[in-house]
Amino acid sequence: MKKKAYILGACLGLMLVTVFTIVPRAGAALGGSADSVTTDRMALSAVRRTTTVGPRYTVQEIASDATSVREYVSRDGIVFAIAWNGLMHPDLTILLGSYVGEYQQAAQKTPRQMGQRRREVRGSRVIVEKWGHMRNLQGRAYVPALVPSGVPIDEIK
């Protein structure tokens, strides 16, 4: 029995080492530069679909077979928000960049409410909202301090 536990622990350790050292990680998307959109596209195995230029920000959309992700970039070239929709939620460890630890801690402290399809996780610097139902999952994440003045949060969708 002890030997099985040791082997299981060794396998788990090897798997974690592989995940954190071999699997490519994206640059900091949220809060990072617009260049991180290309890194995110490759990490998510997605293709660039469109770029929309607005008066206060640019939206760069990338899509995989399962999910479309829109990254909102300020005129300063900083990604201040992301939004997604599709068959599944994207890997937020890629998209949240340096905010992922804060999000994970806040998510552990945010109780799940039974019967609710919407979940909002508020960290001290980042807000992540998820909602939807099977085959139509949506969400957004943003850093309030980075959102350009005059941009309503409801535009992030």
* 56-108 pLDDT, tens digit each: 999 988 888 888 889 999 999 999 999 999 998 888 988 899 999 999 999 99
Amino acid at 134: M
Percentage of the chain with pLDDT > 70? 71
Spell out the residues 6+ positions from residue 67 whose beta carbon is closer than 8 angstroms to its own: 44, 46, 84, 85, 86, 87, 88, 89, 90, 137
- Rounded to two decimals, what is the model's pTM? 0.72
Q: What residues does each domain of the chain span? A: 25-155
- The reported pLDDT for the residue numbered 44 is 57
- Across 31-57, average pLDDT: 68
Answer whether 79's CB lies under 8 Å from 27's CB.
no
Of 36 and 7, the structure prediction assigns the larger pLDDT to 36
- pLDDT band, very low/low/confident/very high, at 18 (cuts 50, 70, 90): very low
- pLDDT band, very low/low/confident/very high, at 50 (cuts 50, 70, 90): low
The strand ranges marked E within the chain are 47-53, 57-63, 67-74, 79-86, 119-122, 127-133, 136-142
